[in-house]
Structure 1
Amino acid sequence: MQIELRFFASVREQLGTSQEQVIVPDTVRTLGDVRQWLAQRGPVWSETLAQGRALRMALDHQILPADTALHEGCEVAFFPPVTGG
């Protein structure tokens, strides 16, 4: 399945990229799976996307839980929590 990845704010800065298109393995079926799969890319990815780290994930512009299923051509976005003031 091909998906579009987008990275925002400090996540983008740490990873050095703002977007890319990838073909995920058949085992990657949810938002949480994408996060785990990307974390295997290397130390910077592992640190930035670590499970204990506060990070928001969105599917097609909606913040959703990690167990949300992906679909062909979807957009998956990662960004830090936003606070207002």
Structure 2
Amino acid sequence: MSDKENKTYWFEKDENKDRLFYWLIALAAVMALPDILSLLGILYETHPYTKAEEVPVFYGLYAAIGMMAVLTIGRMFSHFLTVREDYYD
């Protein structure tokens, strides 16, 4: 057997998987911190231009609805753009 077959890689060890998971959780918390602070009005004061922007989660809802619209439109167009399985036969 060669050394490559017996080698244990970094991600195969259970303690490293747990360590990576906790680092990813910490990174997600740090990246969410500005959003949480702005939601509470601590980071900066917002100046909405419209009444809809006064809703605290307006931008999150706007992004979620926009993504759902893009996915729905993409799924509708995929039916027109797909090729039958036996097309080249």
Higher Cα Rg: structure 1 or 2?
2
- The TM-score normalised by the length of structure 1 is 0.19
TM-score norm. by structure 2 comes to: 0.19
More helix by share: 2
Q: Say which structure, 1 or 2, has more relative contact order (CA 8 Å, 6+ apart).
A: 1
| Structure with the bigger percentage of strand | 1
